Structure 1
Amino acid sequence: FTKICDVLIEEILNELPQKYELPPRETEWLRKMLEHTVKGGKMNRGLMVVESGVAIIGKDNITNTKLCQLAVLGWAIEWLQAWLLVADDIMDSSVTRRGQPCWYKTLGDAWYIAINDAVTIEAFVYRMIKHHFGYDSDLQLQLLDLMMETTLQTELGQLSDTLCDVLTLSDLTPERWQLIVKYKTSFYSFYLSVAFAMTLAGVTDKEAYNAARDILIEMGVYFQAQDDFLDCYGSHEVLGKIGTDIADKKCGWLFTKAYHELANETQKAYLDEHYGKCTVDSPEEIKIKELYTELGLKEIYAKYEQDSYDKIMSMKDSQAGETLNRAGVPWTVFEKFLAKVYKR
C-alpha cells in the first residue's frame, strides 16, 4: 500500500515540469512537502478502501489491477486528509502532527506558503482520480462526485468548528458538537472509504449507500468523542500530537458534557474564566482536566464507548444491515473498520 503512494508522488512530480512548466526548485519543494504531509499516519481511511473492496468483490475474484485501483482511491482519501490537516493545523495553531512538527511550523517566517500547499494537495487528489480512472467516464464522474461532495461536507463541518472561536461557551452545546463531528469527521473519515470501495466494486443500489452512510456516521461520531477524550487524557507519544482542545476553546465531547450537563455554578464560572483562554500545560488547563475527572467524565466516557460499540454492532441485524447484505456488502466491512478504532 505504501509503495503506491511513492508511485503517485512520482507520477505527479514527473508530469509537472512537462505539462505545467514547473521549475526544479518548485518541484523539489512539492516533493519535500508531500513526503512530510501525506505519509506517516495510521492510514486507516486508505487501508479501509482496500479491505472493503476485497470484502465486497471477494478474495477469489479480486485482480491485481483492482487492488491497485483500490489503493489509489485509498491514497486519494489519505491525501484529502493531508491537505485538511495542513490547513487545520494552521487554523488551530497546532505544534505537532504525527510525531513531527506541523508542516507550516517547518517553514519559519514563510509559514503562509503552507496555505497554498494545502490547496495544491487537494488539486493533486482530483488529478490523481482523473489519471487513474479517466478510462471510464461514468466511473470517474461517480468518484469525483463522491470526493467533491465529501469535501464540501467536511469544509462545512470545519466552518462550524472554527466559528466556535467567536461564540460564547454557552453556544458550545452537545447538539453543536454532534453537528460538527458528523460533517467534519464522519463523512470523510468513515463513509468515503466504504463508498469508494462500493463504487469500484459496481454496487449501484442507492439504498445500500444510504445504509452504509447511517452506520458509518454513527461510527464517526463515536470516533470523534474518542479523539476528544484522548486529547485530554491520552499521552503525546501515543497520539503523535499535543492535545490543545482546552487551550483552543474546542467544542469537544468532554467540554459540552461538563459545561451543559454536569458542572455546578462554581465549576461553570471557572470554565467561563479559563476555557479557551489558557495555554497548554498551564495550571489553568491542568485544573480543567482535574475538573473533568472530578465530574466523573472518565467513567461516563467508558460507558459511552461501550454503548456506542454495542449500538453499531446491533445494526448488523437492522434494516440497514439487511439492505447492505442484499447489495453484496458484507458486515465484515463495518466490523473491521470499528475494530481499527475501538478502544485505540
Structure 2
Amino acid sequence: KANNISDDRVKPVLSKIAVLLQMLNDYQDLYVDSKLLGKDGTDIQQRKCTWFAANLLEKAFPETKESFKSIYGSEDPGRVAEVEALYSSLQMEEEFDKHKNDLCKIIDTEIASIKDAKFRHALYSVYQKSIGAKIEEAHF
C-alpha cells in the first residue's frame, strides 16, 4: 500500500463513481438529443438494465411492472413512447436527479475523508473531470 493509502477507503469511492458514470450514461441515452451525443439512444429497444428500468421495477405497482415488462425491449416507436410515459408518470427523472445529487454528496464526503492530500486531490480531479464531462454532455 503505497503512501499508506488504504484500499478499503478507495475502492468504495471508485465503485460509487462507476455507478454514477453509468447512471449518467443511462440518463443521456434517455433524455439527451441524439444529435448532441452523436448516437441514438436505444437502451429501451435493447432492453438494457438501466438505472431507470431497475428503479421502475423496484418501485412500481405490480400492474405497472407487468405492463413495463411486456413493452420493454420493443423496437416499435409506440412502445418506446409508452415506456417513456411510464418513466414520466413515476417521476423517474426527478428521482434520478435526487439520487444523483445524493450520490455526488456521498462521493465528495468519501474523497474528502482520504488523508493523503496528493492522492485525495488526484482522485477528486479524476472524479470531477469524468463526471463533469458527462454532466456537460447531458446539459444538466
Q: TM-score normalized by structure 2?
A: 0.82
Show structure 2 runs of 5+ residues with no match: none
Using CA pairs below 8 Å that are at least 6 residues apart, which structure has the higher relative contact order?
2
CA distance in structure 1 between the aligned counterparts of 2:87 and 2:64, rounded to whole angstroms: 10
Give, in angstroms, the shift of residue 299 of structure 1: 0.6
Show structure 1 runs of 5+ residues with no match: 1-203
CA distance in structure 2 between the aligned counterparts of 1:283 and 1:338, rounded to whole angstroms: 38
Q: Is the 8 A contact 2:20 2:100 kept in 1?
A: yes
Alignment of 1:1-344 (within 5 A): 204-205=1-2, 208=5, 210=7, 211-261=9-59, 263-276=60-73, 278-279=74-75, 282-318=77-113, 321-322=114-115, 324-325=116-117, 328-329=118-119, 331-340=120-129, 341-342=131-132, 343-344=135-136
Give, in angstroms, the shift of residue 218 of structure 1: 1.1
Name the amino acid aligned to 2:23. Answer: A
% same residue? 22
Using a 3 Å threshold, how does the CA distance of structure 1 residues 334 and 206 change in structure 2: closer, same or farther?
Answer: closer
Give, in angstroms, the shift of residue 293 of structure 1: 1.1
Structure 1 SS opposite 2:39 = coil
Structure 2 SS opposite 1:228 = helix
Bigger Cα displacement from structure 2, 221-230 vs 334-343: 334-343
Give, in angstroms, the shift of residue 209 of structure 1: 6.1
Name the amino acid aligned to 2:92. Answer: L
Give, in angstroms, the shift of residue 291 of structure 1: 0.9
Q: Is the 8 A contact 2:26 2:51 kept in 1?
A: yes
CA distance in structure 2 between the aligned counterparts of 1:207 and 1:272, rounded to whole angstroms: 48
CA distance in structure 1 between the aligned counterparts of 2:93 and 2:109, rounded to whole angstroms: 24
Give, in angstroms, the shift of residue 207 of structure 1: 5.5
Highest Rg: 1 or 2? 1
Using a 3 Å threshold, how does the CA distance of structure 1 residues 214 and 207 change in structure 2: closer, same or farther?
Answer: farther
CA distance in structure 2 between the aligned counterparts of 1:223 and 1:334, rounded to whole angstroms: 15
Using a 3 Å threshold, how does the CA distance of structure 1 residues 238 and 205 change in structure 2: closer, same or farther?
Answer: same
Q: Is the 8 A contact 2:13 2:111 kept in 1?
A: no
Name the amino acid aligned to 2:126. Answer: F
Q: Is the 8 A contact 2:111 2:124 kept in 1?
A: no
CA distances 1:158-212 after superposition (whole Å, capped 9, x unpaired): xxxxxxxxxxxxxxxxxxxxxxxxxxxxxxxxxxxxxxxxxxxxxx528526133
Q: Where in structure 1 do 4 or more consecutive aligned residues deviate above 6 Å?
A: none
Using a 3 Å threshold, how does the CA distance of structure 1 residues 207 and 239 change in structure 2: closer, same or farther?
Answer: farther
Q: Is the 8 A contact 2:13 2:107 kept in 1?
A: yes
Q: TM-score normalized by structure 1?
A: 0.36
Name the amino acid aligned to 1:272. Answer: K
Give, in angstroms, the shift of residue 315 of structure 1: 1.3
Name the amino acid aligned to 2:26. Answer: D
Q: Count matched residues.
A: 132
Using a 3 Å threshold, how does the CA distance of structure 1 residues 224 and 283 change in structure 2: closer, same or farther?
Answer: same
CA distance in structure 1 between the aligned counterparts of 2:3 and 2:79, rounded to whole angstroms: 50
CA distances 1:88-116 after superposition (whole Å, capped 9, x unpaired): xxxxxxxxxxxxxxxxxxxxxxxxxxxxx
Using a 3 Å threshold, how does the CA distance of structure 1 residues 290 and 243 change in structure 2: closer, same or farther?
Answer: same
